[in-house]
Amino acid sequence: MKLLVVLSLVVAACYGSVVRQQRRFPDDFLFGTATAAYQIEGGWDADGKGESIWDYMVHNTPDVIRGKTNGDIAGDTYNNYKRDVEMMRELGLDAYRFSMAWSRILPTGMANEVNPAGIEFYNNYIDEMLKYNIQPLVTLYHWDLPQKLQELGGFTNPLFSDWFEDYARVVFENFGDRVKMFITFNEPREICFEGYGSTTKAPRLNSTAVGTYICAKNLVVAHAKAYRLYDQEFRAKQGGQCGITISVNWFGPATETPEDEVAAELRRQGEWGIYAHPIFSAEGGFPKELSDKIAENSAKQGYAKSRLPEFTEEEKAFVRGTSDFFGVNHYTAFMVSANDGKTSFPVPSLQDDMDNISFADDDWLKSASAWLTLAPNSIYKALSHLRTLYNDPIFYLTENGWSTYEGRDLIDDDRIEYYRASMESMLNCLDDGINLKGYMAWSLLDNFEWMEGYIERFGLYEVDFEDPARKRTPRKSAFVYKNIIKNRFVDYEYEPETMTMTIDEGH
């Protein structure tokens, strides 16, 4: 008997110390999921919505999408938003990040004509979340520019920042009483480089690396105008925050040679510094080493001036410091080699490939997306570098997730491995004092994955796109994420007992 008591005391003590040592997320850490309007909403022309550049592209050049599919209906969130909120409750989310379709609110893009049905839809959606204490995080722009604005040059029109400011005003006026976190743009790199400097996203302009940089400058100025508008006219009465989300994957040197380190840093600046530096650095403007490189490349190519536009001192000051937080979309990492690039490509190319090449390690777990592998501790590597460069900002991870192939079953153990690794990497950030305040998993539900159509699936919930009702079913990863949110730590022993989801009390 005595032995039994001693044994149980030892077990209790060990268990206690394990529990005490368990690394936890703070109670106020915001756990959520993220989506984007074109990828989930459907209702592409419903109730007065105008055409966007994605509507235009998929209808006029359907071949550019794998499987020739489109987002006309997608997950039909336009008609299913209550079910989506129910899923948020099932998961126990603190927050939900979604985007508004500019052309649902302003069909032509211009603020003289507001679509009341669009305002009503987003009001209903937001109110449904708030009913259950789910905090809405609203992205104003996730890639679906009104087509009418594209016909005027889109992001390359010098008036672009005014159009965006007018749109932002309509959003703040209509929703800012209830939405306390606004994100102006999702991923400038994908908007400008992929849309204007390549053919991998709408509007597929591939404008010889001139359009990319005009877009970059106009976009950060537009962001700053929206931020200053919020700051000056709305913040005092609405009390929210406004920021931007930039895609920041980690680019590490392939070897420890100084050449590779220099190449990796230049690559980071080309990928995300170009958008982050004007807003988050103390000096403002485009990063110097990048500007020098583009000027050098432009001269070699016979341009009279650099293809990268300058900021005036006034513009630098206007843009600098215009974000209450740094929204980071982080998925993966690449290694950068200075030398391999030179043998594989003519350097410099018009795309400013920064004289290098990047690749993933063969040993990293691969997803269904060619660009996405599970790279070790990459969230920590990216955020600690950003923190040093930009004076310790507040971070939110506004996207992070894993793709599986269409048709796989609901047991998505590789996604679970990825999410658990992300949690550990975020806990490393918190241990190190990085100001990381929240995490939005991409994605709540399967959706239209841009050029990959419905072949790559990112959802915690599977969607049956053959079913007119677009039935949603939780994957195993949904149960694991729910468990993490509930406990605020990663329980590696946790296995769902059934695959039936319920809503816990209080949600």
Q: Is 194 in the site for ligand LWIWXZAE (CB under 6 A)?
A: no
Active-site pick, 51, 165, 187, 462: 187
The contact mask relative to ligand LWIWXZAE for 34-73 (x = CB under 6 A, - = no) is --x--x----------------------------------
Residue showing the smallest CB distance to ligand LWIWXZAE in the complex: 371
Active site residue 399: yes
Residue 39 or 306: which CB sits closer to ligand LWIWXZAE? 39
| H helices present in 22-132, as ranges | 37-40, 53-60, 77-91, 102-105, 116-131
Q: Distance (Å, rounded) from C-alpha 174 to C-alpha 410?
A: 39
Residues 246-275 that bind ligand LWIWXZAE (CB under 6 A): 247, 249
| Closest CB 423 distance from ligand LWIWXZAE, rounded Å | 19
Active-site pick, 190, 194, 399, 449: 399
**Considering only residues 331, 380, 395, 481, which one is a binding residue for ligand LWIWXZAE as defined by CB under 6 A?**
331
Q: Is 144 in the site for ligand LWIWXZAE (CB under 6 A)?
A: no
Residue 416's CB is within 10 A of a number of other CB atoms, namely: 20
Q: Distance (Å, rounded) from C-alpha 94 to C-alpha 223?
A: 26
Which residues have C-beta within 8 Å of that of residue 97, sequence separation ≥ 6?
32, 33, 34, 35, 137, 138, 139, 183, 398, 399, 440
Which residue(s) pair with 461 in the sheet?
Answer: 445, 474
Residue 125 or 331: which CB sits closer to ligand LWIWXZAE? 331
- Among the residue ranges 60-68, 184-192, 229-237, 314-322, the one whose residues contact ligand LWIWXZAE (CB under 6 A): 184-192
Amino acid found at 374 = L
Residue 40 or 170: which CB sits closer to ligand LWIWXZAE? 40
| Closest CB 333 distance from ligand LWIWXZAE, rounded Å | 10
Residue 218's CB is within 10 A of a number of other CB atoms, namely: 22
Q: Tokens representing 264? A: 């990796």
Q: Give yes or no for a cis peptide into 188 (omega within 30° of 0).
A: no
Rounded (5°) CA angle 265-214-54: 100
**Considering only residues 458, 461, 479, 481, which one is a binding residue for ligand LWIWXZAE as defined by CB under 6 A?**
458
Which residues have C-beta within 8 Å of that of residue 470, sequence separation ≥ 6?
73, 75, 76, 80, 463, 464
Q: Distance (Å, rounded) from C-alpha 344 to C-alpha 327?
A: 34
Q: Distance (Å, rounded) from C-alpha 80 to C-alpha 85?
A: 9
Active site residue 190: no
Catalytic (active-site) positions? 187, 399
Contact footprint for ligand LWIWXZAE (CB under 6 A) = 36, 39, 186-187, 190, 247, 249, 329, 331, 371, 399, 442, 449-450, 458
